[in-house]
Amino acid sequence: MNSIYNYKLEDLEEYLLNINEKKFTARQIYDWLYIKKVNDFDLMSNIKKELRIKLKQDFDTSFISIKKVQRSSLTNKYLFKLLDDNYIEAVLMRHDYGISICVSSQVGCNMGCAFCESGRLKKVRDLETYEIVEQILLISDDINERIDSVVIMGIGEPFDNYDNIMNFIRIINSPYGINIGARHITVSTCGLIPKIDKFSEENLQVNLAVSLHAPNNEIRNKIMNVNKAYNINELIECLKRYIEKTNRRVTIEYVMLNSVNDRLEHARELANLLKGMNVYVNLIPYNETSNFIYKKSDNISAFYDTLKKCGINVTVRKEFGANIDAACGQLRAKEVKK
């Protein structure tokens, strides 16, 4: 049976019209699901009884479940158990501008980035739309607060699950649903060029972040398998097309790995690569894990200063969850090992 949380508003409207019901009823159902947070059709009092019976026949309202939560002052790390007994993660982060959630898009990941905990456990399957939506709903319910922004940067490569991610974005962006503004939603990709080109045609104000993590092909080939399919030169040309098409700035994610990609010559090379582009660089302090040799860079400040001097817009990501299993995939990896 299909989850009701897989349905965009227009999908639900089409379903209702096909069974000779009124289109506006979809907004009433959305109000129950996402505003009142009621998933029992029998409790939807302004929906006629016959339709409630039909909805129960056609739709499932089951939820994934929170298996474990690790909490710190600014960060909560959630381990979710799916209905098929697989596990995924999401992270809540408290910023001075509001509450952000980083959600997963797949069970495991096949991108195989050498420093990433998520990819250590290979992809089992894509997440369905409802499994991504319910991460937001369950966390919001757990903290009893509204979620202000969403980053699709957890376990998995979002553009490897493109259709479900687009459905998810439209559901949480709907003013009749969770109502998170498009400019408060970010999709992060390791650089799947055909999907970036496709994303540029979506006519969305959603933010795009690209995991670059290296200033040249030599380094990127060593730490990111995707570069062997779509190299840096091709990726930069793709991003130029995206920026020209959408007139939107792109975030360049750059994880700082000690003695790998963090030298000052790397900063200058990165600045030259990005010169003249509408981008900003987000330097990411590495979350070390026992499973990899990589270490957190001790050269972040000098790297930042070099980029600044070269005229590149740059920030350093605030560190979250240093006292919990902060690296994406750690909590799931521990559960799978049991």
Q: Is 89 a catalytic residue?
A: yes
Cβ count near 301 (within 10 Å): 11
Task: Give the sheet arrangement for strand 149-152, strand by strand.
Answer: 65-71, 75-81, 87-95, 98-103, 149-152, 185-189, 207-211, 250-256, 279-285, 314-316
Pairing of β 125-126 and β 106-107 = antiparallel
DSSP string, 264-313: HHHHHHHHHHHTTSSEEEEEEE----TT-S--B-S-HHHHHHHHHHTT--
Structure tokens at 322: 């240093």
CB contact set of 226 (below 8 Å; sequence gap of 6+): 111, 113, 190, 191, 192
The radius of gyration of the chain from alpha carbons, rounded to an integer in Å, stands at 21
| 328 carries an active-site annotation | yes
Q: Which residue has the tokens 């998520």?
A: 118
- Compute φ and ψ for 3, nearest 5 degrees: -70, 135
Residue with tokens 């995991």: 211
102, 116, 238, 328: which is the annotated catalytic residue? 328
| Element spanning 26, H or E | helix 25-30
Would you say 232 and 122 are in contact if contact means Cβ atoms under 8 Å apart? no
For tokens 């097309």, name the residue.
241
For residues 64 and 60, what is the distance between their CA atoms, to the nearest angstrom?
12
Identified catalytic residue from 13, 89, 131, 253:
89
Question: Which residue numbers are catalytic?
Answer: 89, 328
